Amino acid sequence: MVPVLLVLLLALILFGAGFALKALWWIAVIVLIVWVLGFVIRPAGSGGKRGRWYRW
């Protein structure tokens, strides 16, 4: 009985980790798209110079 519970617990942990990693990949792709769009669509700074869209 205990080995079956351990296998089920391991499967549950691996399933949760897989779902979390997949969600993190989607978040990373969205952040990458926003970052690339920030370079394509830059607001004009003062004096007609191209400014940075980020604040760091």
Max CA separation in the chain (angstroms): 74
Residues 6+ apart with CB under 8 A from 52: 42, 45
Could you tell me if residue 24 is inside a domain? yes
Could you tell me if residue 54 is inside a domain? no
Q: What is the pTM of this model?
A: 0.55
- How many domains is the chain built from? 1
Residues 6+ apart with CB under 8 A from 26: none
Distance in angstroms (rounded) separating the CA atoms of residues 21 and 42:
32
pLDDT of residue 50: 56
Q: Per residue of the chain (56 residues), give pLDDT as tens.
A: 888 888 888 888 888 888 888 888 899 999 999 888 877 776 655 444 555 555 55
Distance in angstroms (rounded) separating the CA atoms of residues 36 and 10:
39
Could you tell me if residue 10 is inside a domain? yes
Could you tell me if residue 21 is inside a domain? yes
Show contacts of 34-38: CB within 8 Å, 24+ apart: none
